[in-house]
A and B are shown apart, each in its own frame.
Chain A
Amino acid sequence: MTQVPDQNGRFGKFGGRYVPETLMNALLELEEAYLHYSKDQAFKDEIHYLLHKYSGRPTSLYYAERLSAHLGGAKIYLKREDLNHTGAHKINNTIGQGVLAKRMGKSKIIAETGAGQHGVASATIAALLGLECKVFMGEEDMKRQQLNVFRMQLLGSEVVPVLSGTRTLKDACNETLRYWVSHVDDTYYILGSVTGPHPYPMMVRDFQRIIGDEARKQIITEEGRLPDYVVAAVGGGSNAMGIFYPFVNDDSVKLLGVEAAGRGVDTTQHAATMTKGRHGIFQGSMSYVLQDEHGQVQPAHSISAGLDYPGIGPEHAYLKDSGRAEYVPVTDAEALEALQLLSRTEGIIPALESAHAIAQTIKLAPTLDKDKVIVVSLSGRGDKDVEAIMGYLGVEKHESH
């Protein structure tokens, strides 16, 4: 496929920069700085050092033998992004952007968060690099993810509750952009996914592609060949883009994005942007959007706060419409089942986001021969979700004495 994005930030017809003029200068400055430093060896060395020594990369590619045997089909490998420092792939991006913010001379960072994973990863890098940090989080999500709220505060960040609109990730993104407009002089916005205006979709992909770069090498070492499938959950789509990207030109490798179908794609409560959305402009770029017939963006629903988003990164829209990747929905119930199965067969409690990718793998693996290979992005660990899962599974909480 051709090199994307082009110089206007276009992935085919998708992407671009649909933002108020007040932000244009900041985005152009950011693009210029990123293009400059991404060629700078000292910059690359610093990021490499932190990824290895601080976050613990490379993460392992683990053969899930018991899960594979249980399903009785293809061999399943898990790319263990849950083993990163802070428990998810989000830190790959915040290390990159944090170091960039510092190079650009910004002393303050801001970030949006849904499940809290990107917020925690931003708060972590802010603490490490001595930057002041504000994280914008929807009030609803703050309730769902109290532990992560406290983690961010413990790391020295301020968590700003977002009371507008849906009070979830969508409006946390709006509020962060609005705050950025007012504080553009000294503040760097660490956007957490491959969404938003150019250059974010490109830059975040570049910082996350290490997932796929490592996985590609590792699977060749393990199996002597490329996988047949790469499977990843998509909300905004950063872990999926990170693992897909290095395989995009490997035509034999099928790329499968798994989106949140919530209570079902035939209900109004889902986040199945690719299955049920249409082309549209949302939060700075053209992509698929969950919207009504008049172009009003619809609230999304998922059991997973990290997938609860009515948009998706423009490069995913490009991969979908060009037929290079396929996107399928998985319901809340299927994700919960998958989470329990992985916990019991492999002793790994995945994040609810990652459980969606596992759920699709559970459907896919038995349909394939035993010599086929699936690589799944296990984007995060489930510790943050344990309390919520107790609620969903109806486990009684009792006081310990």
Chain B
Amino acid sequence: MNLIDTAFARLKVEGKTALIPFLTMGDPDLATSVAIIKTLEESGADMIELGVPYSDPLADGPVIQRASERALLNNRITLRDCIEVAEQAREAGVKIPFILFTYYNPIFQFGLEAFFELVKSKGISGLIIPDLPIEEDGEVRQLAEAADVHLIPLVAPTSNDRVTRISRKARGFVYCVSSLGVTGVRADFHKGIDDFLSLVREATDLPIAVGFGISSREQVARFEKQCDGVIVGSAIVRQIEEAIPLLNDASRREAGLKQIGDFVASLKG
């Protein structure tokens, strides 16, 4: 059974909402990414999104753009590196499911079949490709099914009658975009957010998770009753950015990790 399904089933029994943090791989470096993943799990993360840095991250705001630029410029991180982080994190004792978040071109260049072979062998359970709408995902979906890797689609407040079609193809969970725009911390969500979430809830039996712009305990709490999962991206990437001077200094590294861990724990309430 796919680890994502197992995790949601367990959380449902416990009456809990999944906390799903995102981090950009290789920012500030790959070994630190593994250490941060371990910290995130210890601080209450239920699944983790492993972000693949990309030169043209269309769906991302400035915080994740900067993290991608750092990872590419300083460490020349590749898609293979990001996938292998999953294996290293497992070796370090991390148990929670991994979801790879990547734009489509790096996969396309890697070769779809080789990509799914590697993803499966390194223990990645889910895949989010933000620039691959259902109209374009036929081949990827087929290979993902065969590899038992969940292809998790995004639905937006503007998806309207597409919600049903997208949800029908979803595996793992349905990722609901909280607001129009790119990723990044914000004060307000889309004004029709509650109706939108109800619409998605009716369209699928799968768990639904909400993301984009969620950065505080209050915002997590706002969605806990309506959703099975809450995704926090930019707010964590920003925490990592602020902790870089600590993380890069061996004597203060633990303090840096603790700072990130405390933030994630605070989101759990």
Contacts and interface: CB of A to CB of B under 8 A. Distances in A.
Nearest to A19: B131
Contacts, number: 113
A171 B65 CA distance: 11
- Residue among B58, B65, B78 with the most chain A CB within 10 A? B58
A178 B108 contact: no
Contacts of A18: 104, 131-133, 136
B266 interface: no
Interface string A149-182: 0000000000000001100001100100110011
Interface string A20-48: 11101110000000000000000000000
A22 B180 contact: yes
Nearest to A183: B180
Given A182-B181, A280-B109, A20 B56 contact: no
A22 B156 contact: yes
A218 B187 CA distance: 59
Interface residues on A, range: 35 or more
Interface string A285-322: 00001010111111000000000000000000000000
B74 interface: no
A8 interface: yes
B79 interface: yes
Nearest to B137: A18
Contact of B56 (A25, A174, A294): A174
Given A24-B133, A165-B55, A293-B109, A281 B104 contact: yes
A298 B57 CA distance: 14
B255 interface: no
Q: Is the interface of A mostly helix, strand, loop or mixed?
A: mixed
A385 B161 CA distance: 49
B182 A21 contact: no
B135 A8 contact: yes
B158 interface: yes
Contacts of A282: 56, 105
Contacts of B61: 178
Given A182-B182, A281-B131, A20 B109 contact: no
A26 B58 CA distance: 16
19 contacts: A16-B136, A17-B133, A18-B136, A20-B59, A21-B130, A21-B133, A21-B153, A21-B156, A22-B156, A22-B180, A24-B135, A165-B65, A278-B109, A280-B108, A281-B103, A281-B104, A294-B110, A296-B55, A297-B55
B127 interface: no
B135 A16 contact: yes
A389 interface: no
Interface string B58-98: 11011001000100100000110000000000000000000
Contacts of A8: 135
Nearest to B155: A21
A21 B154 contact: yes
A307 B107 CA distance: 27
A19 B182 contact: no
B72 A296 contact: yes
Contact of A165 (B56, B108, B177, B180): B56
Given A21-B155, A184-B158, A296 B54 contact: yes
Contacts of A86: none
B123 interface: no
B44 interface: no
Contact of A283 (B58, B62, B69, B166): B58
A22 B105 contact: no
Nearest to B77: A294
Contacts of B55: 165, 296-298
B160 A294 contact: no
A97 to B, nearest CB: 21
Contact of B109 (A171, A182, A294): A294
Contacts of A170: 56
B198 interface: no
Contacts of A178: 58, 61, 181-182
Contact of A295 (B69, B79, B132): B79
Contacts of A25: 156, 158-160, 162
A295 B135 contact: no
The CB with the most chain B CB atoms within 10 A, among A25, A284, A298, is that of A25
Contacts of A296: 54-55, 72, 106
Given A20-B154, A294-B106, 11 more contacts: A18-B104, A21-B162, A22-B156, A22-B158, A24-B156, A165-B69, A278-B109, A281-B108, A294-B110, A296-B72, A297-B55
Nearest to A18: B131
Contacts of B57: 174
B16 to A, nearest CB: 27
Nearest to B131: A18
